Chain A
Amino acid sequence: MKNIWKKFTTAISRFFHDDAGVSFLASTLAIFAGILFSFFLMLAFEPSDAFRGLSIILSAGFREGMSSLGNVVVKSTPIILTGLSIGFAFKTGLFNIGATGQLTVGAFASIYIGVHWTFLPGYSHWMVAVLGAIIVGAIWGVIPGILKAFFNVHEVVATIMLNYIAMYAVSRMVQDFVFESLKSESQSVHPNAVIPKMFLDKVFPDSSVTGGFWLAILAVIIIYIVLNKTTFGFQLKAVGHNKDAAKYAGINEKMSVVYAMAIAGALAGLAGAVIYLTTSGAHISTTYILQPEGFDGIAVALLGLSNPIGILGAGIFLGYIKVAGLYLQTLTFKKEIIDIIISAIIYLSALSIVFKSLGRWLVKIIDRLNAKDPEPVAKTGGDE
């Protein structure tokens, strides 16, 4: 019995000695803390409903079977992409606060193509619409990239300004080009421009899920490969970590910034396309609101520790919590309280970096327990 326990703890300790293991532990702890905190909030506001609230938060994705899970997928798809946009930029040393702006222009491009380019036959219509969003998003990302690389303008300042420019410009352009004056919002796109379901409707019936989720998964895989397996990613990360050393090694550190922002913009632009190329009644309204998915992406990237796989998980988790927010409305909580509860979970989880040291500490305790009857630590290297 004791032996099994020891094998178990050694295996765990080995996993958590890996940086990836510590990160995973940290994110899990962060989520746990977030949910616990939300429970206290509910206790404070509506003690009588707190337990039911907690159970809703925990079970939201399964309340109405697969269709609830489908909603989770719908909510998570764009924020996986914006999270990826922000996380990717971060890996290359850039703070992309501009995902929301890039998303907005991408969304407009996809709607414009989806409404007007009806000459495109069959499937090509939605593909071109998606591609248009990617390209326009990339261009919107390249602008701060160039400003940073060649004119030394900090990307945070530039992207924040571009967010507002995108918001006002798109609002104006919706009225000029794709306006549905009755509802004061953008027109619905042509059915051919809607991203097909790609079998997801079989898995999640009765939800507005589209194949956009597959596109997000594909993006996660591609970004993972680019960052970890290619010379291109090697260059970008080198610049992100230490641009002087990258320069010394002959890497064009200026172009590197431009490429990285282009890719970050493309990802956010794609997020815009997957929100609006659906039949579910998503339309750009002409009110002046910054698209929240761009900022949720920051939380996703933080919770996922900028790792593409982590971001996929974090995005799904946040989508899940957002669905929980919808269901909480069936209880006595006010809308604002729900927003606070949901944000508390999201932002506490985003602090997973803080929990990293707690994670290391836990690993150490496990080690101590193991060390009581010592087993040789695996030596992996050349040094004696």
Chain B
Amino acid sequence: MNYVIEMLNITKDFPGVRANDNVTLQLKKGEIHALLGENGAGKSTLMSILFGLYQPTSGTIKVNGKEVAIRNPNDANDMHIGMVHQHFKLVHNYTVAENIILGKEDTTVGFLKMADAIKRIKSLSERYNFNIDPNALISDITVGMQQRVEILKMLYRNAEIMIFDEPTAVLTPQEIAELMNIMKEMASEGKSIIVITHKLKEIKAVANKCTVLRKGKYIGTIDVADTSIEQMAEMMVGRQVLFEVDKNPMKLGANVLTVENLTMTNKDQKQVLKDITFSARAGEILCIAGIEGNGQTQLVEAITGLKTNYQGDVWIHDKNISNLSIRNRTLSGMGHIPEDRHKHGLVLDYNLGENMILQSYFDEEFQHNGFLNFDAITEHTNDLIERFDIRCGRGEKTSSRSLSGGNQQKAIVAREFDRNPDLMIAVQPTRGLDVGAIEYIHDQLVKLRDQGKAVLLVSLELDEVMSVSDRILVMYEGEIVANVNPKEVTENELGLYMSGSKRGEL
């Protein structure tokens, strides 16, 4: 059988890390091939090599049986290889069409042939039911739509081999289902797809083959149809993974977080938070569930102080923090794992050590009379690296930018947990993490709760909501529309609350 892509014995070294160690991946025409592995296993690196962003240290790549050198993304493009990156690369104040033709502009005597381009984009969009307006601005469309723009970009360039790096991490369940259909459709037309994902269910649903990496090494390639989710997880982590969260009965204490009559109006005079009142008690994991964009982000921004244009009150224990600065809220006992790890969670140009003290550099432990204590920082960072299993090449000196996506997330989680706050606000804490790391973080959240802390978990993933939380508040259009116990509600019912078709008792 002949393969469209063969990556044979690929090895890639970064300073201090062997990101890929003798890895082989073979892709057939019309196949959907999943790439599975823990955070930092080297998946993105392997795909970046195929897309010409990195050069392998050793190993060969064959396209349609012919050995090739892919020196840069243009080479990849010429070989009809396209890629959708983990973090999209779109120009926000350009239109959909402008983004798609960017770098591949057709012109007549110097003028863009925009009309032709738009026509072609429209017909592609119709063929796959993308439902996209070529003249819309990127900044005005949803993340799911932006991803379709990235896909259109590949189709527009006649890509035959398509690489998706964690395409579902940022999508709603509905969008995920649609994306899967699109992928199947494209595969049935003879396009070959490689998809990186941590969600084993998705692999089960779309992929034919699955290649597993562990710590840069090639573990094997399996037929998805003959392998169970548990087997795949074990292959990838090297041990059995518990998918159920182990919880003791909860011991409720006093209110830790109280939110009273919180209202927020945005620039367009739209009420994004409508009179929200609730409290989270010591010893419980309170989950805010809902479809993305129903006010969860704004709620967290108000509680943490990132936005202050709200009315109403926020209390931690007996202290009204509504008018406090962010620093003073943090010091009142608040931990915050932010939604956007690149925007808020990390200073990417700081190294790992510097990021580990981002919230506590002023603490006596890390400074004396305003001078940083570097020994203490190193020790602290090494301790966190070890306890939270952050995979990094050069210890505290590792540049945060070079960490794999999942390890960046682990670093943030480590920093916030280590501060031992009374209230932990965790927004999508497991986004982009592998099953082993998810298990670990869920355990940690439960441990916090068992120590009598309050956890406010904001999550879009129904699985997570159902298995981790002790109580669920559902948000819809800026309001809390239900207050339910996960043991007494079905996923279906939850879906109805989330879509606004049903209201519960508060």
Interface residues of A (CB under 8 A from B): 17, 229-232, 234-235, 237-238, 241-242, 244-252, 377, 379-384
Contacts and interface: CB of A to CB of B under 8 A. Distances in A.
Nearest to A238: B347
Interface stretch (B280-288, B364-372, B449-457, B468-476): B364-372
A250 B326 CA distance: 5
A248 B306 contact: yes
Contact of B347 (A232, A241, A252, A384): A241
B417 interface: no
Interface stretch (B11-19, B23-31, B103-111): B11-19
B453 to A, nearest CB: 20
A17 B16 CA distance: 12
A384 B238 CA distance: 15
B410 interface: no
B394 A381 contact: yes
B368 to A, nearest CB: 10
Interface residues of B, number: 44
B258 to A, nearest CB: 21
B392 A382 contact: yes
A249 B359 contact: yes
Nearest to B344: A248
25 contacts: A17-B15, A229-B372, A231-B371, A232-B370, A234-B361, A238-B350, A241-B347, A242-B343, A245-B358, A247-B306, A247-B344, A248-B304, A249-B326, A249-B358, A250-B325, A250-B330, A251-B327, A252-B325, A252-B327, A381-B16, A382-B385, A382-B386, A383-B16, A383-B391, A383-B392
B358 A231 contact: no
A241 B386 CA distance: 27
Interface string B387-412: 00001111101100000000000000
Contacts of B371: 229-231
A12 to B, nearest CB: 16
Which 4 A-B pairs give the minimum distances between C-beta atoms?
A250-B327, A248-B344, A241-B349, A250-B326
B336 interface: yes
Interface string B333-368: 000101000011111111000100011011000010
Contacts of B395: 380-382
Interface centre among A230, A242, A381, A383 (most CB of B within 10 A): A383
B370 A248 contact: no
B326 A247 contact: yes
Contacts of B431: none
Given A242-B349, A381-B393, 6 more contacts: A234-B372, A248-B338, A250-B359, A380-B15, A382-B395, A383-B215
Given A230-B372, A247-B306, A380 B350 contact: no
Contacts of B392: 381-383
B294 to A, nearest CB: 22
B295 interface: no
B73 to A, nearest CB: 17
B345 A231 contact: no
Interface of B: 13, 15-17, 40, 215, 304, 306, 325-331, 336, 338, 343-350, 354, 358-359, 361-362, 367, 370-372, 382, 385-386, 391-395, 397-398
Contacts of A235: 361
B215 A384 contact: yes
Nearest to B389: A382
Contact of B350 (A231, A241, A244): A241
A248 B385 contact: no
Contacts of B354: 234
A383 B345 contact: no
B291 to A, nearest CB: 24
A368 to B, nearest CB: 11
A244 B359 contact: no
Contacts of A250: 325-331, 359
B45 to A, nearest CB: 13
A380 B359 CA distance: 26
Contacts of A244: 343-344
Given A238-B350, A248-B326, A380 B397 contact: yes
B344 A245 contact: yes
Nearest to B358: A249
A245 B398 contact: no
Given A229-B371, A230-B371, A383 B17 contact: yes
A319 B369 CA distance: 37
B262 to A, nearest CB: 20
B427 to A, nearest CB: 12
Contact of A241 (B348, B359, B370): B348
A383 B385 CA distance: 10
A235 B350 CA distance: 11
A226 to B, nearest CB: 9
A132 to B, nearest CB: 26
A380 to B, nearest CB: 5
A231 B343 contact: no
A207 B13 CA distance: 55
Contacts of A230: 370-372
A380 B370 contact: no
Contact of A245 (B17, B347, B391): B347
B330 A231 contact: no
